[in-house]
Structure 1
Amino acid sequence: MASNHDETARVPLLGLVGGGLGFVLFQATFGFAGSFRAALEQRDFSGFRAQALALALTSAVFFPLLAQGNVFGLALAGFVTPIGVSFVIGAVLFGAGMQIGGGCASGTLFALGGGNARLVMTLAFFVFGSAVGAAHLGFWWPLPRWNSGTMQDWLGWPAALAVHLAIFGAVMRAIPAPSPTRRRPSLRSLVLEPWPLAWGAFGLAAMSVATLLLAGRPWGETAGFTLWGSKIAGAIGFDPGSWPYWQGQQASLSASLFADITSVMDFGIVAGAMLAAGLSARFAVRSGGGARAWLAAALGGFLMGYGARLSDGCNIGAYFSALASGSLSGWVWVAAAFLGSIIGLRLRPIFGLA
C-alpha cells in the first residue's frame, strides 16, 4: 500500500496533470457539449470521431492495468456505476444542462480559463446543483438500479478490449476524417497554434493514463464541485456530513481543498487552459451575452451539477472514463445524454442562444 508521503507527493503531480488536461482541451477545443450539439444540429460527428480515438488509446492501456489491479504498490480501480432510474434521469438532466449552460464540466473549466466570463455563472450553479444533488441522494438511491459491471467481467480483459477497439474503430471508419493537415507537431505548433482534434485525442489519452497511474483511478471532475458546494453548505449552517453521499468520507469535508485530488486537478485545468490561451494570444475576457444568456448559464449549470450527482459523474467520469474502464454504464450514459441534449437544444432559443 502506498504511504502517506507518497500520496502527498502525488497531489502536486496530479495538479500538473490537470494543467496538461486544460492545455490540451483548450488547444484542441476538445469540448464534449459541442460535439453533441454539432452532431444533432449539423450532422457533424467529427467530435465523436476524436473521442473514439481517445477512448481506443486510453482503453488499450487501462484494460491490462486494471486487470493487474495495482502498479508500483498503488491499487487501481476503474469507474463502474450501477445503471438505474436515477442514473438515467441524471444523464438526461446533464445532457440538457450542457446545451443550455454553454459547456460540459471540462468545457466549462477550459473555457473559463480562456476568458469566457459567463462560465463563472455556469460553474457557480454547477457547484450549487452538485451540493443539492448530494443532499437529495437519500431519495434517489433507493430507486431501482442494476449493478452493471464491466465488459471485462463478462469476457475477460483481452476479449473485452478487442470488442471495445472494434467498436471505436467502426465509429472512426463510419465518420469521415477531417481534411488531412500537413502540419507536423513542433514546439511552436504545440504551444502557439490551435491543434487538430486528433492531437487532442492523443493528449487526453496520455493525461488520462497519467491520472490512473498517479491517482489509482481515472480522471473525474464533478466530485470536486460537490465538495466545494458541500463545504459552502456547511459554512452557512447545513450539515452535509449527514447526507448519504458523504457517509464514510466525512473527513473530506474538514480537509483542505488542496488535499483533494479532484479539486486540485480541476484548478489545474483552468490554469492550464489559461496558460494555453495566453501563450497562443487567444486569451480574451468576454461577457458571453446578455441577461438571458447568463440566466441560461445558471440553469444549465444547476442541471449539470444535479444530474452529475444522480449519474455519479459527467461527460468525463460517467462517459469517457467509464468507457475507458470497460463499464457498461458508459454506453447508457451517452445515449441518455443525447436525449437530454435534444431537449436542451430545443430550449436554447428561449434564452436567445443560437
Structure 2
Amino acid sequence: MSVLSSSTVSPSPQSPQSEAPPLGAPGLIAIAVLLLGTVVLGLFYGAVQGALFLVGGALGISLYHAAFGFTSAWRVFIAEGRGRGLRVQMILLALAVILFFPALADGTLFGNPVKGSVSPAGLGVVMGAFMFGVGMQLGGGCASGTLFTAGGGNARMLVTLLFFIIGSVVATVHFDWWTSLPSLPPVSLVQTFGAWGGIAVSLAIFAAIAGLTVIVERRRNGALERAPHASRTGFGRFLRGPWPLVWGAVALALLNFATLALAGRPWGITSAFALWGAKGAQAIGFDPSAWAYWQTPANAKALSDSVFADVTSIMDFGLIAGAMLAASLAGRFAPRLDIPLRSVLAAVVGGLLLGYGARIAYGCNIGAYFSGIASGSLHGYLWAVAAFAGNVLGVRLRPWFFLEGRAPARIDG
C-alpha cells in the first residue's frame, strides 16, 4: 500500500515522532464510533454482528500500524527486486492455512459450521485479477489498503474508493457473462489432499516463493533488505506504531480466523462495495434487482436488507474507524486536498479497474488472494498469478500518472 505525499503531511510510519502525540478529535470520534457501533449493532443485529464490527476495527488498526500493504510489496519487488514484503505475505499465508485447514476439513469451528472461500478458476478470474493488479498500482492500493489509508486520512484514496464502488456495481451488470466463460469447477486443496496434506503442499509453495524472492533480491541488490529501525519500543510501539511487518501478518491471520469463527466464512471486503453501489443506483432510479448478480438468494437478501445487516459492510466500516484511530494514535491524521490532477486521474482509472476486476474475479487481495488461499482454493493461486502480471503493467504505467518529485511515498509492506 502507498500513501501519497500530496494527501498527507504526516511523517513516515517508519520514522515516528519520539513524543506521544495527543489523540485529538479524530481519535476520540473513532473510539466513539467503535464503541457505540458495537453496542448498537449488538442490540439491533445481534452480538455476532457487533463483535465482527470490532474485528473490523482491529483489522484497521493492524493494517495501519504495520503499514501492511500488498500493493507496495509487489511494486517494490517488481521495480527494485526487494522481496521482504512478499516474504512476510508468505508468512501470513502460512499462518492462515495452519489455522484454517483443520477447521475447514472438519466443517465446524467452536461448534459452529464454517466454509472456505472456494470459487471457480476460469477466464473471468484471470481477466478480473489482471485488471485488479493494474488498478492496484494506479489507484495506489488494494482493497484493504484503500480502506485503511482512507480511514487514516488519505484524501486521494477517497477518490479511489468512490470509483472502486462504481466499478464494482458496473461489474454486477455483466457478471453473468463473465461467469459463462470457460472455467474449472471450484477446487480445494483441503478436499483434495486433506487438512495436513493441504498444509504441506501450501507450505511448500510459500517456501518456494519466499526462496525465489531471496535469490532475486540478492542478485539485484547484493544483500537482503533489513527491517527499518523504529524509535518506539514496548507498549508504546504496540499502541502507536509502527509495527514490524511480521506483527501485522500475525494479527491479520488471527483476525481472519476470528472472522471465520464468528461469521462462518473468511474475511472479505469488496462484495460490500458492490452492495453500496447497488443501493446508490437504487436511490437514483435504477433497478439492480433485475441484474442476474442480484437475483441469487444471498445477494437478493443483501440488497433488500440494511447494509448494517451485511457482515462485509460492517467489517469495512469498522476497518475504516480502526484505521482512523490508529492514525490518530500515531499522530498522523492530517488530510490534505491539494492532489495533482494526474494523481486524481490515476485514482479514477485505478478505482474502476479495482472494482470491476474484483467482482468478476470472485474477490480482491483479501477475499480471493488471502482468504482464497487460506481456504485452499485453486482460484486464489490463479488470482495471485494474474494479479501479479497486472501489477507489472501497472508499475510500467505509473510514471505517466505520477511525475518525478510527486510520486507516492512508499509505505513499507
The aligned residue for residue 238 of structure 2 is 190
Please list the CA deviations of residues 104-138 of structure 1 after superposition, one character each: whole Å capped at 9, or x if unmatched. 11000111111110111100000000000011112
Aligned residue in 1 for 2:328: 278
How far the C-alpha of 1:312 sits from its partner, in A, is: 0.9
Q: 2:53 touches 2:317 (CA, 8 Å); kept in 1?
A: yes
Q: 1:113 is matched by which residue type in structure 2?
A: G
Q: How far has the Cα of 1:186 moved from its partner?
A: 2.9
Give the letter aligned to residue 25 of structure 1: L
What is aligned with 1:70?
Answer: 108
- Supply the distance in 1 between the matched residues of 2:386 and 2:211 (Cα, whole angstroms): 24
1:27 aligns with 65
Match of 2:156 in 1: 118
- Tell me if the contact between 1:95 and 1:338 (Cα under 8 Å) persists in the aligned partners: yes
TM alignment of 1:17-56, pairs within 5 A = 17-56=55-94
Q: Find 2:129's aligned residue among 91, 99, 102.
A: 91
Structure 1 counterpart of 2:341: 291
Map of 1:227 onto structure 2: 275
Amino acid at match of 1:305: G
Kindly state the Cα deviation for residue 187 of structure 1 after the two structures are TM-superposed: 2.0
SS in 2 for 1:149: coil
Give the match for residue 244 of structure 1: 292
- Out of 152, 177, 186, the position equivalent to 2:190 is 152
Residue 321 (structure 1) aligns with: 371
Q: Which residue of 1 aligns with 2:146?
A: 108
Tell me the residue number matched to 2:250: 202
Q: Which amino acid in structure 2 is aligned with residue 319 of structure 1?
A: Y
Match 2:174 to one of 118, 136, 141: 136
Distance verdict in 2 for CA 1:159–1:201, change over 3 Å? same
In structure 2, the CA distance between the partners of 1:317 and 1:44, relative to structure 1 (3 Å rule), is same
Query: Alpha carbon RMSD of aligned pairs, Å?
Result: 2.0
**Distance in 2, Cα, partners of 1:273 & 1:14:** 15
Residue 293 and residue 182 in structure 1: after superposition, are their counterparts in 2 closer, same or farther (change >3 A)? closer
d(CA) in 1 for partners of 2:325, 2:290? 39
Once the two structures are TM-superposed, the CA of residue 317 in structure 1 deviates from its matched residue by 0.6
Q: Name the SS for the 2:68 alignment partner.
A: coil
The answer to whether the aligner puts 1:302 opposite 2:349 as a matched pair is no
TM value normalised by structure 1: 0.94
Q: Indicate how the Cα distance of structure 1 residues 288 and 273 shifts in structure 2: closer, same or farther if over 3 A, else same.
A: farther
Unaligned 5+ runs, structure 1:
none
Letter matched to residue 352 of structure 1: F
CA deviations over 1:7-45 (Å, ceiling 9, x no partner) = 721111011101111101000110011111111111111
8 Å contact kept, 1:19–1:272: yes
Shift of 1:6: 12
Is 2:61 the partner of 1:61? no
Q: After superposition, what is the alpha-carbon deviation per residue over 1:186-239, rounded to whole angstroms, capped at 9, x for unaligned?
A: 321101230111111111111111111011000100001010001111111111
Instruction: Give the distance between the partners of 1:102 and 1:181, measured in 2 at CA.
Output: 22
SS at match of 2:369: helix
Q: Partners in 1 of 2:57 and 2:355 — Cα distance? A: 22
Question: d(CA) in 2 for partners of 1:241 and 1:293?
Answer: 35
Quick one: structure 1 residues 156 and 37, their matched pair in 2 at CA, closer, same or farther if it must change by over 3 Å?
Answer: same
Q: How far has the Cα of 1:178 moved from its partner?
A: 5.0
For the residues of structure 2 that align with 1:111 and 1:182, how far apart are their CA atoms? 22
Q: 2:260, 2:338 → 1: CA distance?
A: 35
2:28 paired residue number:
none
Alpha-carbon distance in structure 2 between the residues aligned to 1:206 and 1:167: 21
Cα distance in structure 1, aligned partners of 2:207 and 2:386: 22
Pairwise CA distance, 1:180: 6.4
Q: Which moved more, 1:288-297 or 1:321-330?
A: 288-297
Q: Measure, in 2, the Cα distance between the counterparts of 1:28 and 1:160.
A: 29
| Per-residue deviation, 1:307 | 0.3
Larger mean Cα displacement after TM superposition, 42-51 or 145-154:
145-154
Instruction: Indicate the SS of the match to 2:46.
Output: helix
Q: Hey, what does 2:226 align to over in structure 1? A: 179
In structure 1, what residue type is equivalent to 2:339? G
| Larger displacement relative to structure 2 (288-297 or 171-180) | 171-180
Quick one: distance in 1 between partners of 2:384 and 2:338?
27
Q: Structure 1: how far apart are the matches of 2:247 and 2:285?
A: 47
8 Å CA contact 2:104–2:190 kept in 1: the answer is no
- Matched pairs, number: 351
TM-score (normalised: structure 2):
0.81
Q: CA deviation at 1:289?
A: 2.9
TM-fit CA distance, 1:179: 3.1
SS class of match (1:156): helix
Please give the alpha-carbon distance, in whole angstroms, between the structure 2 residues aligned to 1:264 and 1:101: 23
**In 2 relative to 1, CA 6–45 (structure 1 residues): closer, same or farther, beyond 3 Å?**
farther
Task: Pick closer, same or farther for the CA change 1:5–1:192 going to 2, 3 Å.
Answer: closer
Q: Give the letter for the 2:250 counterpart.
A: F
Preserved CA contact (<8 Å) 2:45 2:309: no
Instruction: Give the conservation status (yes or no) of the 8 Å contact 1:94–1:303.
Output: yes
